[in-house]
Amino acid sequence: MKNKRKPQFRLIYNISKKDNKKIFIKSAATQDAFDFLKNVIKKENLSKDFFGDNAIVVCGTFKDNCIYYPYLTYPTLEQLIIDDIHNGNHNFGISFIEKYVSFINNLPSKQCRPERFLQEFGIRSDEFEKPVKCLLLGPIDCIPANILVNGNTWHIIDHEWTYEFPMPTDFIIYRGIYSLIIHLQELIQSHASMEQPITLLQGYGKNRTYIPLVWLELLSSMEMPIERLRYYEYLFQKKVFIRNKPGRLRLKNPPKIIYGVNLSLLGF
C-alpha cells in the first residue's frame, strides 16, 4: 500500500496465483479510495486508445471490487538503465533515456494552452504566454519504472494518474527523468567520475540530490524551464500525498561539475 498518499487515493497491491499463473491485484485501502480504484479501468481504456500502435497498454479486469492484471516479467526501462550503468557504459544510460524522450515526443500531441491542466493544478493562466506542445492525454505516470520492455515492444503499466485532458509534453518527460534521479540516486553518486560528471540538483547535507550532467543537458534543451516543471511536480505531489517537502533547487548556471561524492558523509 502506498500509505503516503491521502486516504482517497490509497490502494493495496498484491501478487497472487491463479491456475498456476501469477496475477497482480489492486484493491482500495479505504472506502474513500474505492471510487478512485473504479476509475482506473476507464483511464486504462483511454490510454489504450491514446497510445495506439506506439505501445501495449496493460489493462486490468474489474471483479469482486478488485482489479486483476496479468503478471508480466519483462524488465522495466528503468532496470535497463540501471544495468547499463552497472555494466560500465558511459553517460548514465543516456541512450535509453533518449529513446524514452523520443517515445514521449512521438505520442499524439498538439500546440495549445492547456487550460484544464492549469485549472486542475491551480496554475495561473498568465504563466503561458503562448501555446506549448501538449500530449492529447495526460499519462503523468508514464515513467521508465512503468514501462516494461520486450524487445522493441513497450508495455505501459500503472495508469492511475492519467488525466483526461492535454498536458505539456515537457512535463511528462521531466517526471520520467526526475523519477530516475530519485530512484537511482545512490547509483548516480557512486558512479560519478571524470567521464561521467554530475552536479548538485537540490537539498543539503545527507539530503543532497545529484543529477548526471548529460541528463541535465537533456532537460535544459526542452522548451519549458526546469524551474517551472519542478513547480508543477510540486503541485501534483501536493494533491496526492500527505506530506510534500521538496528540497530547494540548487542548480548553478553554469552547473558546478562534480566528479565524485564522499558517500560516507551521505550515509551510504
Tens of pLDDT along the chain (268 residues)? 456 899 999 999 999 998 889 999 999 999 999 999 999 999 999 999 999 999 999 999 999 999 999 999 999 999 999 999 999 877 999 999 999 999 999 999 999 999 999 999 999 888 888 999 999 999 999 999 999 999 999 999 999 999 999 999 999 999 999 999 999 999 999 999 999 999 999 999 888 999 999 999 999 999 999 999 999 999 999 999 998 777 789 999 999 999 998 765 555 4
Domain boundaries, the chain: 7-70, 77-266
Cα–Cα distance list, 44 to 87, 109, 172, 175, 224 (Å): 35, 18, 17, 19, 28
Q: pTM score, two decimals?
A: 0.95
Give the three-state DSSP class for 148. Answer: strand
d(Cα 104, Cα 108) in Å, to the nearest integer?
Answer: 9
C-alpha cell at 169: 509534453
**Pairing relationship of beta strands 153-156 and 56-57 according to DSSP bridges:** parallel
What is the sign of the dihedral through the CA atoms of 53, 57, 63 and 68?
positive
d(Cα 169, Cα 136) in Å, to the nearest integer?
Answer: 9
